[in-house]
Amino acid sequence: MRDAFSTWLRWGVNIQPDWTLKRKIFHTNVAALVALTSLVTYCVALLVWLPSRITTKIVIAELPFYFLLAMIPWFNQKGRDNLARWTLAFSAVASQLISVLLAFGSYVNVHFYFILFAIVPVAFFPIRQWRAIVFLLVLNVSLYLTFELIDLPPDPEVMAWRQSTLEILRASYAASTVLTMFIFIWMSEVVAQNSEAKLENISLTDYLTNLPNRRYFESVFAQEIAKSKRDNTPLALAMVDIDHFKAINDNYGHDTGDSVLQHIAQLLSQATRKSNVIARIGGEEFAVLLPNTSLSGAVDVAERMRQVTQEESFGLKDQQLTITVSIGVVAVNSDLPMTQAYKWADEALYRAKNTGRNRVVASDAALPPEVAS
């Protein structure tokens, strides 16, 4: 149910290229949900708490607005976001006017909602539609002032209710105006934060393999270098490259090449520990960060990755492809920039490529002479 609501609130968001419009459409959908929920609660409360001819009449008159409010995300999904905004504004104002003119007048503070409707349009109308924002502001302020100043009397049936009931209604309408505003802001912020978290995750993830991308990898790499220096613990880096990947693309097509990348990403993930960080950093190249791992330990992990990749063939419709990788490994010197570790690992990878491929080559460039020897 939660996922269904989340999907409903995002209808029409992804079809917009402009981030401002994405946010406005999302806020429109949130406002529609809040308005629909408030209207349902309001009508049910009237029927249960104050069953009478006049409340039944109100509930029947409000029925079209259930349909209109529910249609707003659908309008957005169809690219009719301007229609969605105006449908929301019309439904909100008209549904309260019905309660004011049909039953309650200005006696029980229903018209307080017009203050809310004067403010919220700025949340779902783009600034370039400032005329619409100003129009709705003036309209709703005028409606509020009109019903506040002329003191429109309620239906006689309403006045026959107990005074305590009327006082509760007056207080509840005033309070619900503030509560509705709070709920709208709260829902917008909570769901927006979730959306931002997802967007942040997307920005740090390789779309094809679902591995971290280079941006995320280098952020973690910088943290691990600092930790290695602070705690005097070893840190290793492995660069992995798929052998003859261009030939795979040329002979079998880029779709097969993409599937091979996904296949290798899965195998590399299976061959490494959870504490290791593996990322696709470009093309057919992957990087693996190994905290608390010596050069010899990193070579063991790299050899395991190489063997798993070679042994797990990639299946096509009519044949099995043996995919191999070349790997360059280096111990990271925490006193030197990150780029130096990349350089040494790339040099080791280059040697692995040029000495036959499908092998692991370790560089001891970062080690002190007595350790390297």
SS3 361: strand
Residue closest to 273 by CA, chosen among 244, 241, 300: 300
Specify whether the CB–CB gap between 224 and 289 falls below 8 A: yes
What whole-number distance in Å separates Cα of residue 332 and Cα of residue 303? Answer: 18
Start-end of H helices in 50-153: 53-77, 81-99, 113-119, 121-124, 130-150
Q: Rounded to whole angstroms, how far apart are CA atoms 184 and 121? A: 12
213 within 8 A of 206, measured Cβ to Cβ? yes
pLDDT reported for residue 370: 42
Predicted confidence (pLDDT) per residue in 256-270, tens digit: 899 999 999 999 999
CATH of 214-372, one of 3.30.465.10, 3.40.50.1980, 3.30.70.270, 1.10.565.10: 3.30.70.270
CA distance 289 to 306: 16
Distance separating alpha carbons of residues 303 and 325, to the nearest angstrom: 10
Phi-psi region of 117 (alpha: psi -120 to 50; beta: other; left: phi over 0): alpha
Residues of the chain with pLDDT under 50: 368-373
Amino acid 260: pLDDT: 93
Q: What is the pLDDT of residues 210-227, one digit of tens each?
A: 899 888 899 999 999 999
Exposure b/e, 64-93, CB count within 10 A at least 16 = b: ebeebbebbbebbbeebbeebbbbbbebbb
- The residues spanned by each domain of the chain are 2-203, 214-372
